[in-house]
């Protein structure tokens, strides 16, 4: 043995000794990780033994093309009744549910949001209503529910109508130069404008402001990055992710999104320094969303911390516009594909509103056929395609099969709405499914989820969808672009891989 080798073994401080220790530790870590992987996989395999699923690779899980996810899950719906496990990789699987009875069981419990997926949203959305669990969630939900009281929602109809009119005026100018039009971006700006004015007392002109476009782009990037991160075994660890290019993109997009929301909070706080504005607020019977947050007192008498306030603003800014943008865009596409239903809706709206110069709260329950078409589009294209829970205790389903505590469960609303056992000929757009006398399972149609954690903005959203559809049909005929058929893509909200392109024909 050479002198140098001897010396490095004798003196652990030497380079060689250090390398030896490091390799040993590396090997131990690798063995530990391999054992952890093996044990987790064995536990999952045992947990899922009553639930068959398509064959999957022991390391790579189910190999599914990113753009084929929805189609793939639908092919499983036919083969595996009620639910089946979906393996992301060898030690990570989400149990995917698409049966109304199974949905009813899970939504009737109080399992928390699955940490393995939702924690990736925390750097962007913070712990607001969407991500909170337990007692804090309950307190925030109770505090914010009055913001959706119908006295508050009533005047929003007019505000939304103005936002829709700005978009339609823009379209009228644009279609001379550009036809077909990619509508998703325009609709996103419109819904952002509407939520900014309704919930955040904004007075600006969002739809014409370039800065809002960078916010919309940041939200679109964050949607995409979240989807990729959940599916990437190497991006689960926060430190490793922050060093990756996606991690850096995500940090940048969060910064852009936060700049937007910080500005909104700063502006409102400045306005409230004004005595007259403060007096106005004191006289109001119901406060707007942002004012509720700014004046909130927690149970111990303290006000909401800046961190909690920002989390709620980020949550509502996102939930309040991206979901409705998806809803409106897909409804327009569905109506463009079905001119006969489109015309019937138009006639209904025309007979109620004439030229549509004013639309109010009272009109919204007088367009039953249009509402049926909106619901049928929400069935085919649910804006939130899925949500995830983590079982806090074991569960047994009505068919006797069971799962242990700790399993992440994906409630796939998209698969439920396309399940042929629940909806015969599921791919056919048929508004009569929602006729007043039609019977269906209480948990067969869940665009707004169900149970205690259902969508707090459901009524606000339905009003916005009705106003957007009614006013648009009075001014334009919507026709599909047969060269660019949209490809539904599941992100946090349902997007189209290639945008939604429509021909717009102005009506006289």
Helix (H) or strand (E) holding 258: helix 245-271
Question: What mask of x and - would describe binding to ligand HEM in positions 86 to 115, judged by CB under 6 A?
Answer: ---------------------------x--
State both tokens at 88: 């992301």
CB nearer to ligand HEM: give 53 or 73.
73
Question: What mask of x and - would describe binding to ligand HEM in positions 327 to 346, judged by CB under 6 A?
Answer: x-------------------
- Supply the minimum distance, in Å, between the C-beta of residue 158 and ligand HEM: 17
Among 73, 189, 334, 387, binds ligand HEM (CB under 6 A): 387
- Supply the minimum distance, in Å, between the C-beta of residue 292 and ligand HEM: 12
State phi, psi for 71 to the nearest 5 degrees.
Answer: -60, -40
State phi, psi for 457 to the nearest 5 degrees.
Answer: -100, 15
CB nearer to ligand HEM: give 53 or 195.
195
Q: What is the C-alpha to C-alpha distance for residues 191 and 261, in angstroms, rounded to an integer?
A: 16
Question: What mask of x and - would describe binding to ligand HEM in positions 288 to 327, judged by CB under 6 A?
Answer: ---------------------------xx--xx--xx--x
State both tokens at 134: 């337990």
Among 82, 342, 371, 449, binds ligand HEM (CB under 6 A): 449
Among 104, 310, 453, 495, binds ligand HEM (CB under 6 A): 453
CB nearer to ligand HEM: give 53 or 290.
290
CB nearer to ligand HEM: give 373 or 461.
461
Site for ligand HEM in 134-153 (CB under 6 A): 141
Instruction: Report CA dihedral (23, 26, 32, 35) to the nearest 10 degrees.
Output: -80
Site for ligand HEM in 389-428 (CB under 6 A): none
Residue 111 has what DSSP assignment?
A: P
Asked if 456 interacts with ligand HEM (CB under 6 A), we say yes
DSSP 129-148: TTT--HHHHHHHHHHHGGGG
**SS percent in the chain: helix, strand, coil, step 5:** 60, 10, 30
Inter-residue long-range contacts of 225-233, CB under 8 Å, 24+ positions, other chains counted: 225/249, 225/250, 225/253, 226/120, 226/121, 226/491, 226/492, 227/490, 227/491, 227/492, 229/120, 230/88, 230/116, 230/117, 230/120, 231/66, 231/88, 233/88, 233/89, 233/92
Instruction: Report CA dihedral (134, 135, 138, 140) to the nearest 10 degrees.
Output: -110
- Supply the minimum distance, in Å, between the C-beta of residue 141 and ligand HEM: 5
Q: Which stretch binds ligand HEM (CB under 6 A): 8-16, 274-282, 390-398, 455-463?
A: 455-463
Phi-psi region of 236 (alpha: psi -120 to 50; beta: other; left: phi over 0): alpha
- Supply the minimum distance, in Å, between the C-beta of residue 13 and ligand HEM: 53
State phi, psi for 338 to the nearest 5 degrees.
Answer: -130, 80
CB nearer to ligand HEM: give 471 or 493.
493
State phi, psi for 411 to the nearest 5 degrees.
Answer: -95, 105
- Supply the minimum distance, in Å, between the C-beta of residue 498 and ligand HEM: 22
Contact 127, 311 (CB under 8 A): yes
Q: Which stretch binds ligand HEM (CB under 6 A): 61-69, 71-79, 87-95, 449-457?
A: 449-457
Count of positions on this chain that bind ligand HEM (CB under 6 A)? 23
Q: Which stretch binds ligand HEM (CB under 6 A): 12-20, 69-77, 266-274, 380-388?
A: 380-388
State phi, psi for 97 to the nearest 5 degrees.
Answer: -110, 135
Contact residues for ligand HEM, defined by CB under 6 A: 113, 129-130, 141, 315-316, 319-320, 323-324, 327, 383-384, 387, 447-449, 453, 455-457, 460-461
């Amino acid at each position: 043995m050479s002198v140098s080798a001897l010396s490095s073994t004798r003196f652990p401080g030497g380079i060689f000794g250090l390398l030896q220790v490091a390799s040993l530790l590396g090997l131990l870590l690798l063995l530990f990780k391999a054992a952890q992987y093996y044990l987790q996989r064995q536990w999952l395999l045992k947990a899922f033994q009553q639930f068959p699923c398509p064959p999957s690779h022991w390391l790579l899980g189910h190999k599914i093309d990113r753009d084929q996810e929805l189609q793939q899950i639908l092919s499983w719906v036919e083969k595996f009744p009620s639910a089946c496990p979906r393996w992301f990789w060898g030690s990570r699987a989400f149990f995917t549910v698409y049966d109304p009875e199974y949905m009813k069981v899970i939504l009737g419990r109080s399992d928390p949001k699955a940490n393995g997926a939702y924690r990736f949203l925390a750097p962007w959305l913070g712990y607001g209503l969407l991500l909170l669990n337990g007692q804090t969630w309950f307190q925030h939900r109770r505090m914010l529910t009055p913001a959706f009281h119908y006295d508050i929602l009533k005047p929003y109809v007019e505000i939304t109508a103005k936002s829709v009119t700005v978009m339609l005026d823009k379209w009228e100018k644009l279609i001379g130069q550009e036809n077909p039009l990619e509508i998703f971006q325009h609709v996103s700006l419109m819904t952002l404008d509407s939520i900014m004015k309704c919930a955040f007392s904004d007075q600006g002109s969002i739809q014409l402001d370039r800065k809002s476009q960078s916010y919309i782009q940041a939200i679109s990037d964050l949607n995409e990055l979240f989807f990729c991160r959940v599916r990437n075994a190497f991006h689960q660890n926060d430190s490793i992710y922050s060093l990756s290019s996606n991690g850096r993109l995500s940090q940048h997009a969060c910064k852009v999104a936060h700049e937007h929301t910080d500005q909104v909070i700063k502006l409102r706080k400045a306005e409230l320094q004004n005595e007259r504005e403060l007096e106005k607020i004191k006289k109001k019977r119901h406060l707007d969303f942002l004012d509720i947050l700014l004046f909130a007192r927690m149970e111990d008498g303290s006000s909401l911390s800046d961190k909690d306030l920002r989390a709620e603003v980020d949550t509502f800014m996102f939930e309040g516009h991206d979901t409705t943008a998806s809803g409106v865009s897909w409804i327009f596409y569905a109506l463009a594909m079905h001119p006969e239903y489109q015309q019937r809706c138009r006639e209904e709206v025309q007979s109620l509103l004439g030229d549509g110069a004013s639309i109010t709260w009272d009109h919204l329950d007088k367009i039953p056929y249009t509402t049926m078409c909106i619901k049928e589009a929400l069935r085919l294209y649910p804006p939130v395609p899925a949500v995830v829970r983590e079982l806090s205790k074991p569960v047994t389903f009505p068919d006797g099969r069971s799962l242990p505590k700790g399993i992440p469960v994906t409630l796939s609303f998209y698969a439920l709405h396309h399940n042929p056992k629940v909806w015969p000929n599921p791919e056919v757009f048929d508004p009569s499914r929602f006729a007043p006398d039609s019977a269906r399972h209480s948990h067969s149609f869940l665009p707004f989820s169900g149970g205690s954690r259902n969508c707090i903005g459901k009524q606000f959203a339905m009003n916005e969808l009705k106003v957007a559809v009614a006013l648009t049909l009075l001014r334009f005929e919507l026709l599909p672009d047969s060269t660019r058929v949209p490809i539904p893509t599941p992100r946090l909200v349902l997007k189209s891989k290639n945008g939604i392109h429509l021909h717009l024909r102005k009506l006289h």
